[in-house]
Amino acid sequence: MPVIEISQSIDARGLSCPLPIVKTAQAMKTLRSGATVELIATDHGSIKDVAAWCRATGNILLEQTSDGAVYRFLIRRT
Amino acid sequence: MDDPLNLVLFSGTDDKLQAAAVLTAGAAALGKPVNIFLQYWALDAFRADRIDRDHGLAPEAGQSGRAAVDALALAGQAAWADTLRQAKELGGVDIQACSLSMDLLTLEPTDLDPLVDGVEGVTAFYLNAGEGQVVFI
């Protein structure tokens, strides 16, 4: 399995909806196409929100994992 | 996603302004333009010298609602003004004060927080709203 290089990590733990998505959108603006962002969040809404945001904006949700109530997403900028 | 979301904010309590800020930030993150028109008590809450103060809650909140909102704030939930600032950083968010409400509250543009981009009448608001939904809060 190829190693995914993370360009930027966003620690959104403790932030409530929709700030994890806002931080992700802000980060994406500064990155080049193909770059990957890691988002770590505790907002339960982020499970559905990140997937919906990726669908709407055309970015790619590469990976989604959870460790208890902490969610981790890898998103590639298109 | 091109039609703007148009929010008419009337209420000046922190819970309704928080709900409006969340709707705004979510739309901005999707690249959807947002036009906000501030009337009456919502406009009063955007006064530069009062924006970070406690604006109370809607009557239906009651004591238990007050406790729940306080608990979220203690847990680190961003204040509505901060959420709006983050949304504006993403771009596409325009906040205008209703000129009639400016007269009602005897406000000058310099009395308002920098979050507010300008003053306009309802006709300009409708023109900018285009085909997008209008939501009254």
pLDDT in tens, B3-50: 999 999 999 999 999 999 999 999 999 999 999 999 999 999 999 999
Q: What is the pLDDT of residue A32?
A: 95
pTM for the whole structure = 0.91
Enter the ipTM: 0.84
pLDDT tens, position by position, B85-99? 999 999 999 999 999
- Establish if A61 belongs to a structural domain: yes
Q: What is the pLDDT of residue A4?
A: 85
| Residues 79 through 118 of chain B touching chain A, CB cutoff 8 Å | 83, 86-87, 89-90
Burial track A58-78 (b if 16+ CB lie within 10 A, e otherwise)? ebebeebeeeeeebebbbbbe
Domain boundaries, chain B: 5-136
pLDDT tens, position by position, B122-132? 999 999 999 99
- Establish if A3 belongs to a structural domain: no
Q: A10 near A74, Cβ under 8 Å?
A: no
What does the longest C-alpha to C-alpha distance in chain B come to?
41
pLDDT tens, position by position, B54-80? 999 999 999 999 999 999 999 889 999
User: Are A25 and B29 inside 8 Å of each other by CB?
Assistant: yes
- Establish if A43 belongs to a structural domain: yes
Q: What is the pLDDT of residue B76?
A: 87
What's the CATH architecture for B5-136? 3-Layer(aba) Sandwich (3.40)
Q: What pLDDT band is residue A2 in, cutting at 50, 70 and 90?
A: confident
Alpha-carbon distance B60 to B112, whole Å? 28
Q: Which amino acid is at A13?
A: R
Q: Which of A10, A11, A19 to mutate: most B Cβ within 10 Å?
A: A19
Residue numbers of the domain that contains A70: 8-76
Mind telling me the catalytic residues of A? 17
Angle (CA) B88 B46 B96, round 5°: 60
pLDDT tens, position by position, A10-66? 999 999 999 999 999 999 999 999 999 999 999 999 999 999 999 999 999 999 999
